[in-house]
Structure formats: C-alpha cells, structure tokens
Amino acid sequence: MTATPAWTTHTPTALLVLADGTVIEGTGIGATGKVEAEVCFNTALTGYQEILTDPSYLGQIVTFTFPHIGNIGTNDEDIEDLTPAARHGAVGVIFKADITDPSNYRAARHLDQWLKARGIIGLCGIDTRALTVWIRENGMPNAVIAHDPNGVFDVEALKAEAKAWSGLVDLDLAKVATSGQTSRWQQTPWLWDKGYSELKEADAAYHVVALDFGVKRNILRLFAGLGCRVTVMPATTTAAEVLAQKPDGIFLSNGPGDPAATGTYAVPVIRDLVDSGLPVFGICLGHQMLALALGGTTAKMHQGHHGANHPVKDHTTGKVEIVSMNHGFAVESASLPAGVEETHVSLFDGSNCGLRLAGKPVFSVQHHPEASPGPQDSHYLFRRFVNLIRERKGEPALAER
C-alpha cells in the first residue's frame, strides 16, 4: 500500500499511522486531536450514523469501503448508543471521498459538524480499497489517527504511540460503554407515518431485564414492540440484583472489547442467571460471554466481520439470512461442550454465529438481528425469545416469521 497517495498535492491535515510504521496521509474532518484505536473496515452501503454510534465500535476506527459517505447528513433519531452525551461508539472514521452536502428530508446536520460534536476524528481522500486489502492480508492493525488543521504532526511520536498501544485483546470496554445506571425503556420501533411511539403500561405483557454492555437502542425498541417493558441495568449488575427485578426474561447485550476480559465479572453472573431457569437471550458480546459461561472459548479474529451483507444460516430452520455483523472476536465452535448446540453459522467463513443450551430456554446469536439489511430476516429471533417467555407462562406461541 502506498503510504502517500500520488494525487496528494497539498499539506495533509490528517494522518493514519499504523503500528508497523506505515503513514497514510489525507484530509482531516470531524474532531481534531489524536486517538489510539484498532482499524477495521465496514462494507455497508448505508447506515453510517448507526454504525458510528454503535457502542460495539468503541476503541475502533471504521474504514468505510463504500466511497460516498455523508450524502444524507445526520439527525437525532438514527443514533444507537443509549447515552449519546457520553459519545459511545467509534473513535475514528476513514472515507474515500470528501463529505458532500446532505440531500435528505430527515437531515438535521452536516456529517462533518456531527463528527465534531461527537468527538470523532476523521480522515478522507485516501484509497480505502488499498487499506481494506491491507487489513484483509495483515489483520486489523493498531493505529493512531490524528487531525490537525495546520498539518503539524510529530510523525515519529505517532509511530511510537501506535506501536506501543496494547490493542483490544484483554481490554474490558463494557464498563466504559454501559449506561451505568438502571433505567426503563419503552420506546417502540419507528413507523413511517408515526415515527417512534411509547409502549403503554397496559400493553406491557412481559418484563425483560437487559444487561447493558453497550446496548443498541433498536434492540430495546424491538423488545418494546413485542410488549416487553425493559429494565436496563449496568454491566456490573449482580445476578441477585437482576433477579430482584422479577423479570420474565433476561437479555445479554452487545458491546465492545474482549469478551474474556469483560467475562471476568460478567460470566459468573451469567451462569447464575442461566441456572435460574429464566429465558436468556444474548447478542454479539452477550453471545460470546454466554458461550464462555457455558464452557466455550473465544478468540480474536483476523479481520473481523463488519458489514450489512453477511449471509448466516440458521440450522434450526435451514434458512439463510442476510444480516449485519460487527465483531472482532468470535466463539470457537470446536470449544462448545456437549449440550451446547451451534445454531447459526457464517456462510462467509464458517465461523460460529449462534448457540442454544439443550433443555433450557437459553440461546444467543453473534450477528445483529435488530438491524435491517434483510430487511427483517432476523427479527424472528426476538419473537423466539418472547415465545420462551410465553411458554413458561403457559401462553400460546407467536408465529416466528
């Protein structure tokens, strides 16, 4: 990969400095300053605001493979982190083309202004295809992204910082991403003619406790849309505190960082919750930590899965879903003990994407079923979870599809 693009004729105002010493020059956008993070690439064509506010991207710089990002602007509805004031999500972003002025009826702010307000450092004007190929061949690198409007950089110091950063392995970021306090969620999914609505107390048939390791809003909306009143609780909540809420079911959320690191305090809690007999459903980081609690292991991936075009097969139905993915760690299929069944698998690389515990109402998936690339291929998983609650209450099942 060429360190300095041949078409660069002006002083660069942003740098991406990889841990191996590679320096990539571009034009700075968004916030100024510098930050250490891991660089990944995302192949989604749409949904950049949801991606950049997904807490699972905390500690990462997102390279978009689609060249034109920012055309629809930003708004206050398409954010995913539960506590936007804390700015949980990606810390850096890389685009190929300059951001254009927004052209969408829902746009409230230019993407560059929004990036500044969120504290996200950006770089554009580089060959993102070449960077993507580099990541595919070498893995997701540790790096420093820096933006100075005057183009003044201590390159050697940035190289040293990128090389010295320890990376995401053994890093617990759930304590950073969690909302940190118990709260109630009742907002239901967005409708074209109504926007968002609130679940009425009279329509709240079930109570779900969501352990927040960096939860996304749309996950909570889909629960509410199925009549679930959701109590969101911090990542460090104990099993006794969860059970004291008298939930009908327990949700283990997505989140950033190394599942083994977060699992040092979360896995014993998850084991106790599984033993309670209540229905348990996990997504992404929640899936990985459930696997750890059931005796499996996780490992760092070479390039991770980040995109909205990933085919996943559900072995329980035989159907293939097009799903959103965002993870750099994965459950090792061979590590799953007897009694833990692999339910979903990636058709890209065969990696594990789901599990269930035999004889208990416990299951999880690696992908993000609340996202809509399919557009609703995986929404049945929420109905599957609610059906476990209904079964325990002696109620008839909902149709999954």
- Catalytic center residues: 284, 368, 370
CB 308 within 8 A of CB 321: no
CB 351 within 8 A of CB 191: no
Report the C-alpha gap between 256 and 7 in whole angstroms. Answer: 36
Report the C-alpha gap between 132 and 252 in whole angstroms. Answer: 31
Report the C-alpha gap between 64 and 179 in whole angstroms. Answer: 27
Could you list the beta-strand ranges (E) of 113-188. 121-124, 142-147, 183-185
Could you give the C-alpha distances from 136 to 133, 140, 141, 336, 380, in angstroms and in order?
5, 8, 10, 27, 32
CB 250 within 8 A of CB 211: yes
Could you list the beta-strand ranges (E) of 126-185. 142-147, 183-185
Report the C-alpha gap between 42 and 6 in whole angstroms. Answer: 25
Report the C-alpha gap between 259 and 266 in whole angstroms. Answer: 9
Report the C-alpha gap between 112 and 263 in whole angstroms. Answer: 36
Report the C-alpha gap between 142 and 157 in whole angstroms. Answer: 15
Q: Cα–chain-centroid distance for residue 340?
A: 24
Contacts of 275 (CB under 8 A, 6+ apart): none
Could you give the C-alpha distances from 391 to 204, 249, 279, 292, 387, in angstroms and in order?
17, 12, 10, 26, 6
Question: Which residue stretches of 303-377 are H helix?
Answer: none
Report the C-alpha gap between 202 and 398 in whole angstroms. Answer: 19
How many Cα atoms are found within 13 Å in the side-chain-facing hemisphere of 384? 19
For the chain, the 3-state helix, strand and coil shares in percent, each to the nearest 5, are 25, 30, 45
